[in-house]
Each structure stands twice: as C-alpha cells, then as structure tokens.
Structure 1
C-alpha cells in the first residue's frame, strides 16, 4: 500500500541507509539526491530552509540550532582571522556579545556604528572591513533602518550587508529585495511563533555564499534537528495571519501607552510620532510587527511593581510568541553592555520591552491599565 502523507513526516533519525557502494557514490556525485547523516542535512531541516528561502526571495538558505548560530554562520560566510566587522550600535545584546567575546578570539575585530552614522560609513571602514551587521527594526528601541540606502552605502565601500530580520519577519520586510546580501532570523521568534522551538535561519542572495553557509553549517555542526524543523514548519504556515494580528494589537497597545500618564515614551514604528514612521510604512507593507518598548520612571521598584501586577504580559526574556510577554533589556538582552554603552543607547532602568501577542486586544489593554494604575 502506497502511503502519501499530506504533511512531511518527522525523520527522527541520525543516519540514512545505503544499499551498496553505488548509492554512496550517488550521494557524493549528485548533491541533494540522497541523505547520509543528519548533521549534513535531513528532510525536515531542508523543508524549513526551502520555505524560508522562498519567503525571503533568496537563492539558498540553511537552518541552524538557534538565532545565535545563524548570526555566527552569517559572519563566517564572509570573514576570517584578521578581518574587521562593522555592527550597528543599537542591536541585540547577544550579537554584540558574540562579536566581543568569541569572534574576537578568532581574530575578527569589530567597531560599532551609532544609528545616526549608519549611512556614512567611510570614517569607520578599514582595508580589512568585510561587512555591516544591522537589524531591520532594532532591539530594543525599534529604530528602523533604511535597508535600500544602507545597502547602497555598504556596497559603495565594498562591504556586504547582513540584516537580522527577526523583528520584522519576511511578511513585513524582505531585506534581499532591498539590496542586502544576507537576511537572517531567530526562527525561535515570529517564524515559529509559539515559544516551543529554538532555531535560526540564514538566507543568501548569492549562490556561492549559500554554498559556503551550507559548508559552515555541516563543519561546525549547526544543523537543526528534525523535530525542531518540523515544529517550525508547522508554525510558519500561519505566519501571515499571525503577523497581521500581532501588528493590529501592537498598534492599539502603543496608542494606549502613548496616552498613559505613567509612560514617558513609546518606541513603536506604527505610531506617527515615531522618527522613522514614514520609512516603516514604505518598507513594511503597512504592518509594523508586535514588538515595542516604552519608558516608565527610572525606578526599579516601580518597574518591579508593574511586572508583578501584569497578568497577560509575563516576564519572559524572549519574544514573538502568540502569547504576549514582556522583557527587561537592562537586565537580560543588553546586560553584557557597559553602563556607558547602555546609557548611550537609552537602555535605562525604566525601559520595558513588550512582545504583543494575538490575544483579544481588549484583554491586553485592561491588563496594562490595571498594572500601570
């Protein structure tokens, strides 16, 4: 009896069988024709990579065991010992920690670019500078990078543009279409969407880079497991629906917070008061995502009180699940920065980051109202 499942099964196996030496030679002579060992690739990971590659409009993608592994692979695709990297100063703390603590040990140096200087890189470019790492929407201040302009500036200096597109997702922005060389994701976040997967993805605009990413993934053992891949594919199927609901809810929440007397500032690109609102409209297909941050008084006990009172926004240092949550950049994602760096970026005691889920928005507003009041 022939079995033809509609959904790809979970290939929960570490190794695949060969009938004889001829099949082994076919594996090496015809790449992609067979599977050998799950570190080299498995059907579930390949399915996820192909779907994300299609969404981003790339020529090839790999999926990895985490978003951090994706950032690592993207940098190694272009860099070796002795090379220099530029990184947007306003970026996820884990990215800067990777560059500072680990890649520096491999002989890759880094300089940080203030947001205001992103489109004038010439003073920072060295003969060994290879790329700029930036985010579509920065974490945690939600500044929006003009990716087309940024790609033009990078390419004018012979640099590659690597974009972390996690906050936007390919539903909102497709960096490769705007000139980026690599778009990467923490699949853990919006692409999977249900807070039950840890994964990453890297999508390339150039076939040679895509092949290099595959090599890095295999040699460093970054490959994603079959089960995680299968769960992420399942989550990906509702990405468009979820992003619309995340964006709708977040805009309503941002408007509510912007009018609340205890809130000093709201950082959300969907608000007309946001400095890059017009760019976000143009670059984001009318959607702005579910991430925002806002400022309370710089009083730790006041922030603690808000966190304790909130029932619909549990303090969980991640983001982008269907259930809402909040995080505290000063104590989690940007903890490794110096006090001077935190202050320069505006990451202060009163800064709270919200990940707005897809629950009924009236419930979210009621919860925020009672927690703030």
Structure 2
C-alpha cells in the first residue's frame, strides 16, 4: 500500500530525473521493471530490447512475462536504433540500458529516443549503472526511467528496491496503481533507508567515478589484464559518446576486465587473494566488490550465448567503492600479482 516514506522517495527521484509524472517505488529492482512493462503492455503485445540486456531482465521478460502473453525479442544494440526495421505491429515498448552490464556498452540515448518517437513506441531506460548524477533520460525523450535503487540510489548495500518514474502523469498513476494491486510497493523502512542514501548520492557518485577511473587506468597497465571495459578510458569504443552524453564529467563506478588468463580459475585466484573486492551478488555500494557474470547475472545463458556477448570465462566485473584509491590499487596489485 502507499505510505509517506515511499511518496518521499519517489518525489525525490522524480525531482532528480525531471519526471513530472511521478512514479512508484517497489520492493526490488526487477519489481520496478515488472511494473513498467505491465503499465504499458498486455497479453498480445511485444517488447524490443538489446541483446546485451542484463541477465535478470532477460529472465523476467523471456521466462515469466511470456507466460502472460507478452513477447520480447532481442537485437544487437548497434541495430536497435533502427526501430522501424525491428518493431512488430504489436510493439509497445523498447527497453535499453544507459551502460550495459557487464561490458559497459554505451547507449546513444537521444538517438534511440528519436527512433522510438518516430514509431510511436514508448521508451524505458534502465539507469541503474549511472543514477541521475550521470544521466537524465527523460531529457532525451524517454518515457520512463527505471532504477534498481538497491544500487547507487540507496548506495549502502542494505536495501532492495526499485524506482520507476514517468514523464506523463497518467503513466505515473498507472505505475502506482499496478504496484498497489500486485503488492509490489516498497516497505516504509526500506523507503526511509533509500531516502537516506539519496542525500549523499552526488558526493558518492563523484568518489565512485574518480576511483573507478583510477582503477581502470591502473588495470590497463597490468600484464594480468587483457582488456578493461570502462567508458572513461579514451580507448573505450564508446568514450566519445559517453563524454558527450554523461553529465558532470563522470563515468560511474562500474567497470569490467578480461583477465589475460581467460579462465574461471584465474578469476577464482583473484577472488581468493583480494581483500577489498569481495565476491558479492549486487553492486554499487560504498564498499568495493566484484562479481563473476558467467555464474551470476548471465548464468541463465548458454556458454555460446555468453561468448557471443563477449562474456568469456575470464571476465570479472568490479564495483568500485568510495574507499581511498591508493588502498584499492594496492589490493588489486597484490591480488593480480
């Protein structure tokens, strides 16, 4: 049910995103996606997504919502901008991420928004990796912005939550109605904790981003690392787009690496040796952590599907926290040494 704590959280996120339509806070990140899709789609409708989409979103869309008669297809992000080619007569929604998980492919948000508007299709943007400090997708022309508030918005690894805000008040009201009717609403204490986290969001994102850039630059020089995926690096193929599109000169706190020994055993050695990057199921907390996509977010895919996305056995995702950067670099040096 609705309550003042949830209202405060949604109002603050809506203010940061410039969302006049308000929205809803849910008990988990994927509950927010569920509310967003059901606010727009019904049985017989179609959703279009990039092939690089987060694995948890893929599971919800392709294994659960298909049972309700909502179909989803996936195309490479580079092709997604041609919405007219890939849409179906019943396509109602396009979903995309600002930065893909785990390889940090950069979305050209304004370009995709224009393509959706030309086709009369709504656009939902997952901004969980960036937060409103780095991107405000409604300004591009998106219709809804979705956050796994478990991540940067709350920021302290003590809340599971989702927030969806909308441009249109009618859509915002529909989101609230759905979440209430389906029991998706966020509890009062979790709402309060998330609001507490928002009060330091700007400070945290600056430190996350600065530390991640330092870590990325350090790792590019390590012989134990074959490839670093971070849009703040000039070598990243999406760097120019990210520099033009992301706000405040920040690139976020998430990065991934492909180890030179591209194997699960090499990843395991790193995890066993690192002190400051513990293996964790989530991300974006104040403390650094790491994740192994092949066994977590993308475990539902076949090895061939993962390989096609570039998620090889030696890919490791790092969530860079707000610790002192010198301590993080020293830990990485000994863990990779």
User: What TM-score, normalized to structure 1?
Assistant: 0.89
Aligned twin of 1:355: 319
1:119 aligned onto 2:81: yes
Superposed CA RMSD: 0.8
Unpaired runs of 5+ residues, structure 1, are 1-38
Report the Cα offset of residue 61 of structure 1: 1.5
In structure 1, distance between residues paired with 2:263 and 2:3? 50
In structure 2, distance between residues paired with 1:146 and 1:302? 34
Aligned twin of 1:175: 137
1:44 aligned onto 2:5: yes
Aligned twin of 2:98: 136
SS in 1 for 2:252: coil
In structure 2, distance between residues paired with 1:281 and 1:193? 24
SS in 2 for 1:170: coil
Aligned 1:272-311 pairs, distance under 5 A: 272-285=234-247, 286-296=249-259, 297-311=261-275
Report the Cα offset of residue 340 of structure 1: 2.3
| Counterpart selection for 2:222 from 241, 251, 260 | 260
SS in 1 for 2:63: helix
Q: C-alpha offsets along residues 58-78 of structure 1, whole Å, 9 cap, x if unaligned?
A: 021210001000011111111
Report the Cα offset of residue 113 of structure 1: 1.6
Report the Cα offset of residue 158 of structure 1: 1.7
Name which one, 1 or 2, has greater alpha-carbon Rg. Answer: 1
Unpaired runs of 5+ residues, structure 2, are none
Q: Which has the higher contact order (CA 8 A, sep 6+)?
A: 2
Report the Cα offset of residue 337 of structure 1: 1.5
Report the Cα offset of residue 208 of structure 1: 1.1
Aligned 1:335-354 pairs, distance under 5 A: 335-354=299-318
Contact 2:80 2:86 in 1 (8 A): no
Q: C-alpha offsets along residues 95-124 of structure 1, whole Å, 9 cap, x if unaligned?
A: 000011110000001100202202112222
| Counterpart selection for 2:60 from 63, 88, 98 | 98
| Counterpart selection for 1:333 from 292, 297, 307 | 297
Contact 2:33 2:146 in 1 (8 A): yes
| Structure 1 stretches of 4+ moved >3 Å | none
Contact 1:258 1:266 in 2 (8 A): yes
In structure 2, distance between residues paired with 1:303 and 1:338? 19
SS in 1 for 2:225: coil
